Amino acid sequence: MTTFKFKQTRLIAALLTAGVIGGIGAVGIGQLPHAAYAQTPAATATVPVVQPNMMEVPNFAAIVAREGKAVVNISTSGTEPASEASGQIDPGLRDFLRQFGLPPGAFQFNPPSKKGIPIRGEGSGFIISPDGLILTNAHVVKGATKVTVKLTDRREYQAKVLGMDPKTDIAVVKIDAHDLPTVTFGDSTTLRPGDWVLAIGSPFGFENSVTAGIVSAKGRSLPDDSAVPFIQTDVAVNPGNSGGPLFNLQGQVVGINSQIYTRSGGFQGISFAIPIELAQRIEQQIVAHGKVEHAKLGVTIQDVNQTFADSFGLPSPEGALIAKVDKDSAASAAGLKPGDVILKADGKDITSSSDLPSMIALAKPGDELHMEIWRDGKAQQITAKLQAIGSSSSTKPAETTTADSGKLGLALRPLQPDERRQAHVSGGLLVEDASGAAAAAGVQQGDILLAINGQPATSVDEVRNILKKAGNSVALLIWRDGNQLFVPVPLS
């Protein structure tokens, strides 16, 4: 079971996925209570009693009876390479025992097997074609040497993994069967927060378990280097249901249950599903080519906070601020620059920086991305032709630093030619000392100031002129240790 921990200090929780020892699953929930309202007669007057207003609960049983036959249980087995350190006694205890003259062999127990450590896991999946194509999560079948699929009628088949894409956590497996029941695909884009959804899977090995809940949010970005725009729900899912379907009230699959947010290792009210449109795109590539290609814009981005918005003259703190443009990338060819703020992509608003990678994840290499950007205090239109990448992406949001109030407080000097060559920059000013607001914002001695409020820092005098025209804050583009990032600095 793989656990991804959130980096925020206030949230010591984890994103739990199935890995090879389990999958995300579901446990049953009780009957939802009806809502009843009544008025109590006043003491001085006779008031008619209002009959209870009964709120109808969807009939999930009909969906399960019709669609549940296409949901399968997936069990896997394999071996995990034995670590050279496995079987070794704790170093501290080993040093303690050495004082008593024990032989070296006493410091090892249960020597690691050369064949590796046996591992087993369980997950879920669903049939998408009558001839045995099945969708599931990549982490369910990763590392498996044997994959067994069990249908609801108890038949079992040995499955072949056609391919998997760890970046989106999608895998396609195939069994040798015919005339199988299949699911119907829906449209996850029509889901709204508050809509009912239903999950079927095998939590903890309890096959064909059903749970229901509502959509909590859409387009969630998780801190696991994934660009998937997850559907967040409160459907009860637990280890064993990874790869299982998420249905809407029409009985259509709108997502694949993938991860949960937990402190205990079990369900705590937040689960995440991969939109079915993304899963279908990955499945089609795997079936056709046996591999998956992802699109790349080639920028490093970060969120726009209020300080940045004030610095760039934006009406609101929204968009994806470009901190760096990769050389020879689609973004570079399109003319994007550090300091540009992407406000829209293909007509959709970019509210936070995480919205952009999610949109690019749904695109294909060669697609054109039409963007509205903010540059020099006004909106402009720009189009980029996306490139193909492997399993990595440069659209991961950059780390940002919060700033405090105070004066700028920077001691700057021009870079020497050898310093520019070493840093691989064409210009900028070296920060010899940082104090006041700049230091509080995170600017350090040795940083290189490349631009201020989007204008190149060509000289100390130029910086002074820019500061005279600045408002209550400035945005500094800093080069540090081979990376570029924007640092907001309030001036008052």
Does pLDDT of 246 surpass 60? yes
Give the pLDDT score at 114.
Answer: 53
Give the pLDDT score at 143.
Answer: 85
pLDDT level of residue 115 (50, 70, 90 thresholds): low
Mean pLDDT of 20-29: 35
Taking residue 383's Cβ as centre, other Cβ atoms within 10 Å add up to: 11
Does pLDDT of 181 surpass 90? yes
Active site residue 242: yes
pTM of the model: 0.64
Locate 406 and state its tokens: 């105070």
**CB neighbours of 404 closer than 8 A, spacing ≥ 6?**
437, 440, 441, 490
Active-site pick, 188, 221, 242, 358: 242
Does pLDDT of 336 surpass 70? yes
Does pLDDT of 396 surpass 60? no
- Radius of gyration for the chain, computed over Cα atoms and rounded to the nearest angstrom: 28
Q: Between 435 and 332, where is the model more confident?
A: 332
CA–CA distance, 184 with 310 (Å, rounded to integer): 48
Closest CA to 234 of 388, 70, 26: 26
Domains of the chain as residue ranges with CATH: 1-30+58-81+116-292 (2.40.10.120), 295-389 (2.30.42.10), 410-490 (2.30.42.10)
Closest CA to 124 of 190, 60, 199: 199
Give the pLDDT score at 381.
Answer: 95
Helix (H, G, I), strand (E, B) or coil at 458: coil
| Model confidence pLDDT, tens digit, residues 60-99 | 999 999 999 999 999 998 876 655 444 554 555 555 445 5
pLDDT level of residue 393 (50, 70, 90 thresholds): very low
Identity at 482, one-letter amino acid code: G
Active-site pick, 75, 124, 139, 303: 139
Active site residue 370: no
Q: Are 87 and 111 in contact (CB under 8 A)?
A: yes
pLDDT level of residue 25 (50, 70, 90 thresholds): very low
Give the pLDDT score at 16.
Answer: 46
The chain-wide mean pLDDT, for the chain, equals 79
Instruction: Kindly report the length of the chain.
Output: 492
Active site residue 178: no
- Give the per-residue SS3 of 311-356: HHCCCCCCCEEEEEECCCCHHHHHCCCCCCEEEEECCEECCCCCHH
Mean pLDDT of 105-132: 75
Active-site pick, 165, 169, 303, 447: 169
* CA distances from residue 118 to 18, 79, 156, 187 in whole angstroms, order as listed: 16, 4, 22, 40
